[in-house]
Structures are given as structure tokens and as C-alpha cells.
Amino acid sequence: MAQVSDTWARSHMPGNPTLLGPSPQLPAAASKQGFWRRKWVSRAQQQGASIQGEGTRTREGSATNRVLLCGLFFPRSYSTPGLCQFMAMLPTAGHLLSLLLMIGTGGTVPSPLVPPRGCYVAKEAGEQTFRCSQAGLRSVPSGIPNNTRKLYLDANQLASVPAGAFQNLPVLEELDLSHNALAHLSGAAFQGLEGTLRHLDLSANQLASVPVEAFVGLQIQVNLSANPWHCDCALQEVLRQVRLAPGTGTGIVCGPGARPDLVGQEFLLLAGEEELCQAGRGGARRSTDVTLLVTMGGWLTLVVAYLVRYVWQNRDETRRSLKQAPVLPVRSEDSSILSTVV
């Protein structure tokens, strides 16, 4: 639109030149505000302004125009000193909208997720990789891209892995948690990775025992070496669920918390000799002996039962044969001889 001239603004502004001076005399039938509104509309039409109803919408004007509007609609009797000067310094509508949006969002402008310090995204062998090695992390970081296939959290200070820590990584194939301070794994630590995870490194931590539930359903190759294992039934059950990474079996050694007779021994050798899920050493041999005794006792019971049945059956048959034996008749000559003898 055509801009209202600065000369006209200075000559027609209430309180010229300081905007705070007395207003010109108004007709008695009109209020000060209504009078100056009608005067501004008439002058603006002459200069090519676009007026639209009560809202009075115009294009963005100069600072002079904003001062003019302020003076017209807010004469001195209705305005605060310095108001029109402040309005003259306001930014244009586009900047004002940006300012309002920023205030509405708490003073911050949304920005893309930034990896934690020391972490970065890379392509390794064509695979989406997220590396946080030696980043000083104390917990599993947030903001890991959900298309990550290889995740390296090694050489940090992680003490535990909570339930569902990686459930938002649907294509994760390799997870490195080695060289941390892990002492606890939740039974649902690897929840959501059952169909994708293939390699898991838990070496060089502080794991003494792990829940079997954490590995149920996982088809993984795992490294469990360099941990102070208790060498208990749980570890033996874990090895039945997973496959050990090649060359790592000898590094699974019983730590100080294991039975005194097991400390320092390789777990795989112990697991081959005895069933750790049985109480005491030599549990497998005792179990075999008990099974053998039960079997022998069962056979002996069957033999005794057969013998008893055989004896009773023969006894009954003997009795029946005696009862059915024929009685021979006594001849008369034998009777007379018997009588003479008597």
C-alpha cells in the first residue's frame, strides 16, 4: 500500500512533536478517539490504504506508520507515556510471529536429536553404526537412532542394564557392552531383540551371575569372559541357551564369590564334570547312583513278587489235587484180616 508520509504523521499526530502534548479540540458530538479514527481512515483512503471492516487490516508499514496508528487510536488521555515510542520499535509481523512461537515453546526452538558427547553415527561395512566408546556414560543413552544395526557402548561406566533398554532398536544385530562395570542385568534387559540380535559382548565386567530369563529366545553368540562368575546353576543354564564366541570359553573362570573349591577354575571344565544345578560336588555321580539303586530295587521287587505268586499258585494247585484224589474201596478179605488182628 502507499505509505502515509512522515510529514503528514508529524503534522497530524496528537501531541506533536513529542506525542505527549495536548490533543486538538474535537467536535462536541464526537469523542477524541472516534474523531481521530475517522480522520485517519479518510486520510489513509486518499493515500491508497486498504481498509477492511472493523478490524482495519493494512500491509506492514514503517515505524512512522505504527507511531501514527498509536497516536490515532490511543490519544494522550487514554495512553501511557512512551507507549507509541515502544510500538515504533516493535519488529515486523513476521519477526513478531517467530518471537511468539519461541515464547510459546518455553523459550527454545525445537532441534534435531543430538548424540551424547563422545557418541557419533557412522556407516561401517554398510551397516548403520552408533558408537559411544569411552564416552564416560553411566547409563544407556537415549536418542539412539532406531535404524541402528551395530551399537558400541564399550569402555564406559555402565553399572546395570534395565528392562527394555534396547526395545526401540528393532534391527539391532550387534551389541558391545564390554569393559564396563556391569554387575546386574535385568531379566528383560534384551527384550525386543529376540529376532534380530546375533552378537553380544559382555566381557570384562563385574558379572557374577546373570538371570536365565535375559537370554531366553535369543539366538546369539556371546562373549562372557573376564567376569568374576559364581559358577552356579544359572550360568550353566545360560550356556545351554546361547553359543560362546570362538576362543572365549577359557576366559570364563570362577571368581572369589564361587565355592572355595571352584575359585580359579575354568567353568567349562567344571560343567563337563558335574551338574551344578545339583547340590554339592559330584552331584551327577550321586544322581546316577540313586537312579541305579532305584532301578535295581524295582527289578528286585518284581522278582520277589513273581516268586511269591509262583509259590502261592503251586500251593493252591497242590491242595486242589489232594482234594480230587479217588478213594479206593476196601475188600472184605482185608476187612476180616483186619478184624482178626484186632
Lowest mean pLDDT of 37-41, 196-200, 239-243, name the range. 37-41
Query: What's the 3-state SS for 272-309?
Result: HHCCCCCCCCCHHHHHHHHHHHHHHHHHHHHHHHHHHH
73 versus 266: the higher-pLDDT residue is 266
Query: Domain locations in the chain?
Result: 6-91, 118-273
CA atoms of 105 and 98, how far apart (whole Å): 11
Given a cut of 90, whether residue 140 has pLDDT beyond it is yes
The model's pTM: 0.52
User: With bands split at pLDDT 50, 70 and 90, how would you rate the model's confidence at 199?
Assistant: very high
Q: Residue 309's pLDDT is what?
A: 81
Q: What's the confidence (pLDDT) of residue 308?
A: 85
pLDDT score, position 23:
45
* Residue 9 and residue 68 in contact, taking contact as beta carbons nearer than 8 Å: yes
Q: If DSSP codes are grouped into helix, strand and coil, which group holds residue 182? A: coil
Distance CA 41, CA 51 (A): 8
Chosen CATH of 118-273 out of 3.80.10.10, 3.10.400.10, 3.40.50.150, 3.40.1830.10:
3.80.10.10
Q: What is the pLDDT of residue 37?
A: 56
